[in-house]
Structure 1
Amino acid sequence: MIEKDEIVWDQDGQIKVLTFDLSGETFALEANMVCEILDIQSETLVPGSAAIAGSVINFRGSVIPVADLHLAFGFDAQSVTQDSRFIVIELEHNNEACVIGLKADKVHEVTTIDHRTTEAAPRIGTRWRQDFIRCLAKRNNDLIVVPNLPRIFNICGHIQAGTQH
């Protein structure tokens, strides 16, 4: 279960991640926090909830919040396509184990990021909040954004604890 703001690299300075798209940008989550990848299903809106987690879905018979990272990174909401998925993750939020569904425009692969290919987000010149990014990783000519989910959820809205895994 992920609960810290820092990435925990293995002894070789690597980490396995699941890559996915948000509005044409490649993002990555530590693979050990991913429980399952789901096809899109109907969501139920929750009145009065934080915009970033304004709906819930049924996951294995339990209701879990759905977070839309498009909002945290200032992207427009995307239409659902045949490639859209929910990435179900587990992390600790406010000292509680939470299972959360994250909206993704497309899920790619599990791959490895080497610490030597990463750097901190620039303090100036990015359109995203620097504190919402754990690191940027270079792969070929692309950048992979590793978001800081605990920070995003602490600032953008309270996530209620879902099922414990």
Structure 2
Amino acid sequence: MTSPRSLAEAPARDDLQVVTFGLGREVFAVPVVLVREILDYQAPSHVPGGPAHFLGLTDVRGQGVPTVDFRLRLGLPSVEPTLATRIIILDVPLPDRTLALGVVIDRVLAVVTVPVDRIEAAPDIGTAWNAGFVQGVVREADGFIVILDLPRIFAGDDPVHAAGTATVENAAGGRLAMSTAA
């Protein structure tokens, strides 16, 4: 178990501190302030009747935290967990509450501080992702880091994957509509 808040120094005012993680070849990031902790993967306790991307509940010190397969939520195919698979426990601010949520990801990469002036606007043409769910992108030598807007991803049931691109069919149509409050 790793707590990103204790791993990195406090960023300067014009910096954004993020946890980067991989899903396949894609690199994503979420702001550190939303990350409660990172857990080694263990299969969540199944809850019947949920959508395909809802895996069940993860016990986090006596609290049942809803846990989703982030690959499925983002329209990517599911894969079997490996030794690098982790569950990131997030506190996602929604308009009416804070949602405690576990997201299963392929691997954690790093906690990094990104200067705000390096963050580019989300492209609205030629991207597989719904630009409304992306806070911005950071250009790196070997590609981009996509900074996700978690409150928008988990506040409604809009598809994260942009229209007209391949998506994974699942019971919820690639959408998440959870009413579980933490």
Q: Which aligned pairs between 1:108-147 and structure 2 lie closer than 5 A?
A: 108-147=109-148
Distance in 2 separating the partners of 1:69 and 1:120: 23
Aligned-pair RMSD on alpha carbons? 1.8
Aligned to 2:101: 100
Greater RCO, 1 or 2 (C-alpha within 8 Å, sep 6+): 1
Unaligned runs of 5+ in 1: 1-9
CA distance in 1, matches of 2:16, 2:99: 22
After the TM superposition, which residues 24-35 of structure 1 pair with which residues of structure 2 at under 5 Å, given as runs? 24-35=25-36
Letter in 1 for 2:78: A
Residues 1:157 and 2:176 aligned together: yes
Query: What is the letter of the counterpart of residue 161 of structure 1?
Result: A
| Per-residue CA distance 1:69-89 (angstroms, 9 max, x = gap) | 212322101210000000111
Q: Aligned AA for 1:129?
A: N
Q: Retained in 1: the 8 A contact 2:27–2:146?
A: yes
Alignment partner, residue 46 of structure 1: 47
The answer to whether the 8 Å contact 1:20/1:26 transfers is: yes
Residue 50 of structure 1 and its aligned partner are, at CA, apart by 3.7
Partner of 1:3: none
Q: 1:56 aligns to what?
A: 57
Moved more, 61-70 or 152-161: 152-161
Runs of 4+ off more than 6 Å: none
TM-score by length of 2: 0.76
TM-score by length of 1: 0.84
Alpha-carbon distance in 2 for matches of 1:150, 1:47: 25
Give the deviation of 1:11 after TM superposition.
6.2
* Counterpart residue identity of residue 14, structure 1: D
Identity rate of aligned residues, in percent? 31
